[in-house]
Amino acid sequence: MPITKLEEMFEVLKSKEKKKMVAAYAVDSHTIDAVSKAIDLGIIEGILVGSKTMIEAVCKEENIDINKFEIVDEENNVKATQKAVEYINDGKADFIMKGLISTDIYMRAILNKEKGLLPPKATLSHVTVVDVPAYEKLLVVGDVALIPAPDLKQKMAITGYVINAAHALGIEKPKVAMIAATEQMSAGMQACVDAAIISKMSDRGQIKNAVVDGPLAFDVAVDKESVKIKKLVSPVAGDADCLVFPNIESGNVFFKTCTKFAGGELAALVVGAKCPAVLTSRGDSTKTKTYSIALACLMS
């Protein structure tokens, strides 16, 4: 059965082997609390890299048992992030998480040509799973945070990544909507052209275990009534599992609207590296970070 709510990930993971997660510069209460909750849920073993003094202070203030973590003492945030990456490369952890560091520091360590986590010729992307009350199931979306203006090749990679995430959530043949400003084919709009090409690749079996269609405007991608009114015939329209956005602006506005205006929750990862990399904002809630850890466990 597919997972239809983010909370359901925890129950599914209870029957699976625990993963080891390493958190880079995990010295803030949100990160430590999220790792603590994931450990209590029985889905991970947690390694915290960062200032032991700061970690001890947070655990004392939050009444968290510090003995549940493996702690690697490192005062410097850059060195702490590099050590976390080393844990992945040395096979000591299954996936990595960002703590109280900037995305720039985190990504530099992952992208380091000699000691990073990026395979040759790989495309890094960002996958977000959105749980919004207005939709009856989860939406897997990309890319809302890393690739500003993806070209055709990058959109193909993003499409593959959202499909992989959907499979991890138990959706056997996800329906992928290539989002544009219109569902009408417009040769003058690059988003429409790229969407049409990738959709045709799906039609011809070049994209496996998914159904891809586009261009699709957002309304017809997720709303059956809009599909009916517009008399659109599509295997995806009105019932999308995944959305591939044409640029970072549209994707970023979408997911922030879901959380800030529509009461949505989310889980977010960087994909395309040697392992999933949990990438949430420093201001994100403990719940968001815990959901993201659970998603990384499913995708590891």
Q: Which of 226, 246, 251 is nearest to 238 (CA)?
A: 226
In the CATH hierarchy, which top-level class contains the domain 8-118+273-299?
Answer: alpha beta
- pLDDT for 280 beyond 80: no
pLDDT digits (tens, 9 = 90+) for 88-125: 999 999 999 999 999 899 999 999 989 999 998 899 99
Query: Average pLDDT in the 29-41 region?
Result: 93
pLDDT digits (tens, 9 = 90+) for 2-14: 999 999 999 999 9
- pLDDT for 281 beyond 80: no
Distant-in-sequence, close-in-space partners of 244: CB < 8 Å, separation ≥ 6: 141, 142, 155, 158, 159, 162, 176, 177, 178, 179, 195, 198, 214
CATH fold, domain 125-260, is Isopropylmalate Dehydrogenase (3.40.718)
Query: Average pLDDT in the 202-228 region?
Result: 97
Running DSSP on this structure, what letter comes out for residue 263?
-
pLDDT digits (tens, 9 = 90+) for 156-195: 999 999 999 999 999 999 999 999 999 999 999 999 999 9
Helix (H, G, I), strand (E, B) or coil at 299: helix
- pLDDT for 284 beyond 80: no
The C-alpha atoms of residue 275 and residue 59 are separated, in whole angstroms, by 28
Predicted confidence band at 286 (pLDDT cuts at 50, 70, 90)? confident
| Residue extents of the structural domains in the chain | 8-118+273-299, 125-260
Query: Average pLDDT in the 56-74 region?
Result: 96
- pLDDT for 283 beyond 70: no
Q: Which of 217, 257, 254 is nearest to 237 (CA)?
A: 217
Output the pLDDT for position 97.
96
- pLDDT for 282 beyond 90: no
Query: Average pLDDT in the 22-46 region?
Result: 94
Output the pLDDT for position 279.
85
pLDDT digits (tens, 9 = 90+) for 78-91: 999 999 999 999 99
Q: 97 with 22: CB under 8 angstroms?
A: yes
Q: What values do phi and psi take at 46, rounded to 5?
A: -110, 130
